[in-house]
């Protein structure tokens, strides 16, 4: 699947200092994909960042179009809040 990164998502990558390589990694092989009620999906993976800490990188995607649109991206240390046990 191909992805278009929205202007907002580009700004959030820069503002939150998230390397584009990590975004690409989550989009290519997310550890989890969560369906939202509004039709979007959240691609997420637990990743180690440059400071050595593990964060959950969450990518909100609208895949109703081709290419799918990356709407926003953020990292959080509140992994247990968002991680879905399978």
pLDDT of residue 27: 97
Contact 18, 57 (CB under 8 A): yes
Predicted TM-score of the model (pTM): 0.92
Contacts of 58 (CB under 8 A, 6+ apart): 42, 43, 44, 73, 74, 75, 76, 82
Domain spans of the chain? 3-79
pLDDT of residue 1: 74
How far apart are the C-alpha atoms of 73 and 10, rounded to whole Å? 9
The residue written with tokens 């999906």 in the block is: 41
pLDDT tens, residue by residue, 2-11:
899 999 999 9
pLDDT of residue 50: 82
pLDDT of residue 74: 97
pLDDT tens, residue by residue, 34-73:
999 998 999 999 999 888 999 999 999 998 889 999 999 9
């Amino acid at each position: 699947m191909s992805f278009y990164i929205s202007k907002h998502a580009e700004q959030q990558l820069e503002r939150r200092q998230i390397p584009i390589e990590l975004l690409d990694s989550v989009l290519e092989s997310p550890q989890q994909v969560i369906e939202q009620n509004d039709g979007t999906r959240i691609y997420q993976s637990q990743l180690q960042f440059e400071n050595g800490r593990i964060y959950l990188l969450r990518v909100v995607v609208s895949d109703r179009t081709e290419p799918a649109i990356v709407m926003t991206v953020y990292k959080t240390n509140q992994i247990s809040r968002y991680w879905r046990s399978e």
